[in-house]
Chains A and B, each alone.
Chain A
Amino acid sequence: MTYTGRCACGAVIATIDAEPVATRQCWCRQCQQLAGGGPTHNAMFPTDAIALTGELSSHSYVAASGNTIQHDFCAKCGTPIWGQSSARPQFRAMRIGFLDQPHGIKPQMAIWLDDAPDWAVIDPTLEKFPGQPPPPRAPTA
């Protein structure tokens, strides 16, 4: 399936010609800052399957995992587009809010739950990790 995405103002659009290799809901404190107080929702796609147009702004930081994350967002409206980890340049963690609906993608696991606020409600069917999960497997050819 081909997925498409656009930011809130429409300046950044993307087409993704692959299935996600993993989908995660991340409650680390840094993601809460970027996501308005809740978790980020991320679908990890192969980098080379993503075609994107529009102007991105970037901010890099050392994540709770110890990896350096480059967070890219729309320069005009601030919509989060993706995160890219120094540990896994072959993937982009697309922010699920950026993807056009309906897309059928949903989180498979909730991570960094040690940082979640007391009021957080976590889907009981999700796989749960108090911190960083194991890395995703490479897509099979």
Chain B
Amino acid sequence: MPHTGQCFCGQIRFTIDAEPIATRMCWCRDCQRVASGSAMVNVVFAEDIVTFTGEIATIERIADSGNTAERGFCSRCGTQIYSRMLAPKGNVLVIRAGTLDDPELMAPQAVIWTSSAPSWAVFDPELPYYPRGPQ
């Protein structure tokens, strides 16, 4: 059974014919901005197995890691869909967990960029956490 997802308004849909590789909560400042103040919950898939329909707007950003990332979002409803690394080129697509039809497909396994988390953030004590990106 492939996994499926969509943006809030439904104009972007996707199917993923593989299991996720990992799930991480990211507190980098850029993720907080586009996640309305929360950590972004990122579900990592191999890049070439995600099939999209609909019109995806993109923007390039220099991430806190220094890498150049592309972010995809819905221009009609604003839902954040994915990010991927352009430079250096990555090979995974990071899907925002909120877009998955099963948002609990894979619970977070790590918390990253805790050094930029707000003072009120709470972390699951069972999870490994990293002040910056995972090594």
Closest residue of B by beta carbon distance from A61: B8
Interface string of A10-51 (1 = CB under 8 A from B): 000000000000000100011111111111111000000000
Could you tell me the distance in whole angstroms from the C-beta of A136 to the nearest C-beta in chain B? 18
Interface string of A73-88 (1 = CB under 8 A from B): 1011111100000000
The answer to whether B120 and A107 touch across the interface, beta carbons within 8 angstroms, is yes
- A37–B122 alpha-carbon span in the complex (Å): 16
Could you tell me the distance in whole angstroms from the C-beta of A4 to the nearest C-beta in chain B? 13
The answer to whether A80 and B34 touch across the interface, beta carbons within 8 angstroms, is yes
Q: Is B135 an interface residue (CB 8 A)?
A: no
The answer to whether A98 and B8 touch across the interface, beta carbons within 8 angstroms, is no
Among A30, A80, A106, A119, chain B packs the most CB atoms within 10 A around the CB of A119
- A118–B120 alpha-carbon span in the complex (Å): 20
Closest residue of A by beta carbon distance from B25: A38
- Of the four ranges (under 10, 10 to 19, 20 to 34, 35 or more), the interface on chain A belongs to 35 or more
Known: A9-B59, A36-B96. A77 touches B34 (CB 8 A): yes
Q: Is A8 an interface residue (CB 8 A)?
A: yes
Q: Is A131 an interface residue (CB 8 A)?
A: no
The answer to whether B122 and A121 touch across the interface, beta carbons within 8 angstroms, is yes
Q: Is B54 an interface residue (CB 8 A)?
A: no
Count of chain B residues near A, Cβ 8 A: 46
- A9–B44 alpha-carbon span in the complex (Å): 24
Q: Is B57 an interface residue (CB 8 A)?
A: yes
Residues of A within 8 A of B77 (CB): 34, 59, 71
Closest residue of B by beta carbon distance from A40: B36
**In-complex Cβ contact of B36 among A34, A77, A101 (8 A):** A34
The answer to whether B78 and A59 touch across the interface, beta carbons within 8 angstroms, is yes
The answer to whether A118 and B38 touch across the interface, beta carbons within 8 angstroms, is no
Could you tell me the distance in whole angstroms from the C-beta of A71 to the nearest C-beta in chain B? 6
Q: Is A92 an interface residue (CB 8 A)?
A: no
Chain B residues proximal to chain A, CB less than 8 Å: 7-9, 25, 29-43, 57, 59, 61, 71, 73-80, 96-100, 103-104, 107-108, 118-120, 122-124
